[in-house]
């Protein structure tokens, strides 16, 4: 997950654009300026590498990731759409260079999600495309980004409108979130997304029981996920854990 904002916050933003009843964009508190500055620096370096050799799969998906991360700081739909389209093109280049790589499919899905956040009804077809590419990413490497494909599928099923409008499915959501957690229980994002999934499914008893594991992962994670690139994630994780503890008190 690195610098990007939490998976859960991203998919909540996507939900608002997918619902026929919720046409307003997500309005979130602006992240600290230093996080945006770092995202811009990473974007500039990744773009230069991609422009130098766009046939290199790693260059492609790293630039796609940088586009996605920077789009989280977008203040307008126009800017988010511009970055999303650049990220989509870079991810497609990565897939062309390495069809069996998980990263290209993963970041193609996430950038399509950013694009969907700029749409209203037009977001629904993009959600199905996201599902397809996340499934492809999972088929190639389920452990990529600490269980990212299954974690993202879980959040997509959790927050998307249900049938017949879209692909939302609480049962599928729980299965994928549980699988991501099984793959990488040490990753705080997996713990927190599982708790959020349980709360949204109405299972506060299990959510409450999951809190100690999340707290342990946070404590141990401080020794694993270190350095500047994880600072934004930690700020988000601590805020969400505190909110869950308050809600489940």
The radius of gyration computed from the CA coordinates of the chain, to the nearest angstrom, equals: 17
Q: How many residues does the chain have?
A: 249
- Regions of the chain where pLDDT drops below 70: 1-31
pTM for the full model?
A: 0.90
| pLDDT value of residue 120 | 79
| pLDDT value of residue 20 | 34
Residue 113: strand, helix, or coil: helix
pLDDT digits (tens, 9 = 90+) for 151-189: 999 999 999 999 988 999 999 999 999 999 999 999 999
| pLDDT value of residue 24 | 30
**CATH no. for 7-247:** 1.25.40.10
For residues 142, 242, 197, 127, the Cα torsion angle rounded to the nearest 10 degrees is -70
Spell out the domain ranges in the chain: 7-247
Residue 221: strand, helix, or coil: helix
Which has the closest alpha carbon to 148: 174, 97, 122, 109? Answer: 109
């Amino acid at each position: 997950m690195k610098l990007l904002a939490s998976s859960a916050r991203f998919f909540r933003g996507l939900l608002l654009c997918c619902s026929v009843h919720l046409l307003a964009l997500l309005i979130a508190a602006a992240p600290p300026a230093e996080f945006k500055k770092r995202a811009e620096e990473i974007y500039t370096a990744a773009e230069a590498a991609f422009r130098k050799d766009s046939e290199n799969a790693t260059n492609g998906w790293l630039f796609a990731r940088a586009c996605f991360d920077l789009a989280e700081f977008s203040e307008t739909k126009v800017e988010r759409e511009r970055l999303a389209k650049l990220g989509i093109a870079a991810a497609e280049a990565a897939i062309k260079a390495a069809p069996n790589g998980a990263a290209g499919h993963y970041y193609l899905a996430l950038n399509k999600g950013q694009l969907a956040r700029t749409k209203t009804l037009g977001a629904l077809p993009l959600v199905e495309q996201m599902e397809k590419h996340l499934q492809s990413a999972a088929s190639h490497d389920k452990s990529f980004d600490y269980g990212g494909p299954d974690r993202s599928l879980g959040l997509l099923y959790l927050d998307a409108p249900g049938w017949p409008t879209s692909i939302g499915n609480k049962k599928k959501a729980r299965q994928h979130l549980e699988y991501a957690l099984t793959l990488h229980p040490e990753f705080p994002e997996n713990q927190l997304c599982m708790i959020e999934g349980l709360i949204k499914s109405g299972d506060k008893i299990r959510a409450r029981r999951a809190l100690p594991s999340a707290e342990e992962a946070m404590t141990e994670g401080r020794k694993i996920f270190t350095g500047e690139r994880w600072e934004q994630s930690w700020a988000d994780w601590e805020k969400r854990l505190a909110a869950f503890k308050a809600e489940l008190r």
